[in-house]
Amino acid sequence: MTAVTADTYEAVFEAAVAADERIEPRDWMPDAYRATLVRQMAQHAHSEIIGMQPEANWITRAPSLRRKAILMAKVQDEAGHGLYLYSAAETLGTSREELLDKLHTGRQRYSSIFNYPTLTWADVGAIGWLVDGAAITNQVPLCRCSYGPYARAMVRICKEESFHQRQGYELLLTLSQGTPAQHEMAQDAVNRWWWPSLMMFGPPDDESAHSVQSMAWKIKRHSNDELRQRFVDICVPQAEALGLALPDPDLRWNEQRGHHDFGAIDWAEFQDVLKGNGPCNEERITQRRLAHEEGAWVREAAVAYAAKHQAQHAKPGEATA
């Protein structure tokens, strides 16, 4: 018999990751791998549910019944994505309650993008095109992430996200080709959402604290800057097709690199939003906390009802057992 040591476990884990096998909930994994995944998946789940707010802000004002139906379906999907991701995170030994508590008390984050306000109807389109577009660029590689439950959740989520993204693009196209006032509304939204969308890929590679380890574990497959560049290259022709300008005077094709060069990101703004000083940080977390606190009596009622009725149903069973 061979003694099974921590080193053996570590070696088995490393070999599985190297062979592109999936790590599953019952497999041994390094504590730091588990912690990184919980952090990332929780942040991802939180982003889905905080991300409902800027869009839900326009449900009651959607300008046509068709658009209203599309927007309601989208916000519903986001709640569903939150549910998948909390479930996936729970396979690592945490609970939704615990994660929500960390969100509500500011100990876990959500994507900085949702701290920007939706000021006009066109923002709904800009979020669909740019924010969902950036999310998809980030998330498609996660479908091959080394942790099985996360990868499988992402496969389902990415399908729905690309649908939303196309709808957002189509919304903007309609506005861009509509009346002058609608076109202006679309351009203004793109002006306000472009840079925050680029920030969604995270800090530049040389300042990204978790990147190297996450790539070694195959949680991440590409660096922040690599994905950001990919996104810019995708967006430029799409903006042209929309007839809308991207608000960056330094944006131009670089023949040598085979990529678009683009201007400098305002990382001070990014850090400020992350620290909680963005335009809507306070409102977003307050609304989330309020929904949770004001719903406490409903959750308590459901628990009390279940306890009463389980007890009633259990009695005959117990008698015969």
Partner 1 sequence: MTATANAAALALGDDALVLSHRLGEWAGHAPVLEEDVALANIALDLLGQARVLLSLVGDEDELAYLREERAFRNLQLVEQPNGDFAHTIARQLYFSLYQRLLYAQLAVTDGEFAGLAAKAVKEVAYHQDHAEHWTERLGDGTAESHERMQRACDALWRFTGEMFQPIEGLDIDWQALEASWMEAVTAVLERATLTMPAGPRAGGWAAGAGRQGLHTESFGRMLAEMQHLHRSHPGASW
Residues found near partner 1 in the complex (CB under 8 A): 49, 52-53, 56, 59-69, 72-73, 75-76, 79-80, 82-83, 86, 121, 174-175, 178-179, 181-182, 287, 290-292, 294-305, 308-309
φ, ψ of residue 195 to 5 degrees: the values are -65, -45
Whole-number Å distance between alpha carbons of 37 and 217: 10
Secondary structure letter of residue 106 according to DSSP: T
Residue 201 · residue 231 · CB < 8 Å? yes
Cα separation, 46 vs 78, in Å, equals 10
Which amino acid would we find at residue 162?
S
Amino acid occupying residue 215: M
Q: At what angle do helices 281-294 and 31-50 cross, to 10 degrees?
A: 90
Tell me 222's DSSP state: S
d(CA 72, CA 74): 5
Cβ burial, residue 301 (10 Å; 0-12/13-18/19+): exposed
Residue 50 C-beta: closest distance to partner 1, Å:
9
DSSP 278: S
**Bridge partners of 91?**
none
Q: What is the distance between the alpha carbons of residues 147 and 26, in angstroms, rounded to a whole number?
A: 11
**Dihedral over Cα of 116, 60, 127, 73: its sign:** positive
Report residue 255 CA to chain centroid gap: 33
One-letter identity of residue 79: A
